[in-house]
Amino acid sequence: MTALVTGGTRGIGYAVVEELAELGALVHTCSRNESELNERLQEWSGKGFTVTGSVCDLASHPQREQLSEKVSSVFGGKLNILINNVGTNFAKPTLDYTTEEYSFLMATNLESCYHMSQLAHPLLKASGVGNFVFISSVISLLHTPYGSIYSAAKAAINQITKNLAYNVVFQRFLQSIDGKEFLDGVAKRTPLKRIAEANEVSSLVAFLCLPAASLHHWPNHCC
């Protein structure tokens, strides 16, 4: 299996890269921080994992296209798994965000996931076994005094995921809202400090990409 994990050098993304690579997947990841990316790639190589990486700011439309081209080149025009993990936040009161901060947060947290899904679609379809996975947040369903732009972006991701699950018939599984609530009910507490909890999330993400989690394996009355 081949996988692209966005934002894979820390936190949940890091744990997901390790989980998939340990299971034998060939993984490509990305980060805005070149030195951190190189450190992680060296670390994973030492563990015997097959992980490649690109420096990419996912807030940038051209850089997303370059990342997609790189992934296509690395994996021979095919991809099995896309993990839309990248995310960032500025903890500020709702009325204090600047126009620039709003645009950056929406581009990073929402637009990048939607665009990467569009770019990955032909690669996933070409593989014959394609999976989209989105990392959302429990605050997409709750109010928050700090981080309202982030939570709005995650709420939009919930809806995009449901629509993709309905429209993209070749894929085998997309998490439901319940799955995402569980993911970030745990995940939102883990910027690389609570790596044990990130590992709990990564195990669930890996399961969602396995044949056992396929929609094709669910009874008809569940669909």
Which residues carry out catalysis?
150
Which helix or strand (DSSP H or E) is residue 62 part of? helix 61-74
In terms of Cα–Cα distance, which of 61, 208, 37 is closest to 130? 208
| Separation of alpha carbons 212 and 8, rounded Å | 25
Instruction: Report the half-sphere exposure of 41 (CA within 13 A, side-chain side).
Output: 17
174 Rama class: left (phi>0) / alpha (psi -120 to 50) / beta = beta
Residues with Cβ within 8 Å of residue 193, at least 6 apart in sequence: none
